[in-house]
Amino acid sequence: MKNIAVLVSGEGTNLEAILEAVDEKEITGKVVMVISDQAKAHALERAKNHGVKAQFVDPRFYESRKEYDRALVKLLKNEAVDLVVLAGFMRLLSPLFIDAFPLRIMNIHPSLLPSFKGLDGIGQACRYGVKVTGCTVHFVEEGLDSGPIILQEAVPVIQRDTVETLHQRIHAAEHRIYATAIDLFCRDMLKVEGRRCLIID
């Protein structure tokens, strides 16, 4: 069984969906640790409610992003973590962190990558006037939202949508496909060839 760690910064709704999927055996892995860079992140309480180790690691105690990431890597290695899942973690990861877990870090982004990378993907889609957007689960590389795509789900943009109403529907899609992608990893069903991530039997 694969060991999963989740990095969070805020409310933790994606974390909650992941923890519930684990409880329901929809993910054949175990969340062994939740780490936040924010002391008051509600996600830490969500983790504790599910009996998962929750830890605040204060970035202010470290001289650089690299040193902070070095501390995180040590914590994760101590827990024998197989997969690192980013769920609203608002810090860019350094190359040191990414190199420690090659093709073992997942992120979810609220657009159909490679469209609308970076911050405010939903707002970007609304302003651009697209008729379809969605969400993407991808492996993390050093480039911004550029790693191999694991799963995507399309979400139609309704004519009277606001950023808030569209966000609600994309969030529901995120909860569905993130759990599926994590489970595929845990069952050794993902294979990366170049830029393509293949689902294998």
Spatial distance between the Cα atoms of 165 and 163, rounded to a whole number of angstroms: 6
Tell me whether residue 42 is one of the annotated catalytic residues.
no
- Cis amide linkage into residue 114, ω under 30° from 0: yes
Which is nearest to 93 in space by CA: 146, 42, 47, 54? 146
Q: What are phi and psi of 127, to 5 degrees?
A: -70, -30
Question: Cα separation of 87 and 4, whole Å?
Answer: 12
> Which of 42, 109, 167, 171 is an active site residue?
109
Confirm if 53 and 43 have CB atoms less than 8 A apart: no
* Cα–chain center distance at 44: 16
Q: Would you name the residues annotated as active-site residues?
A: 109
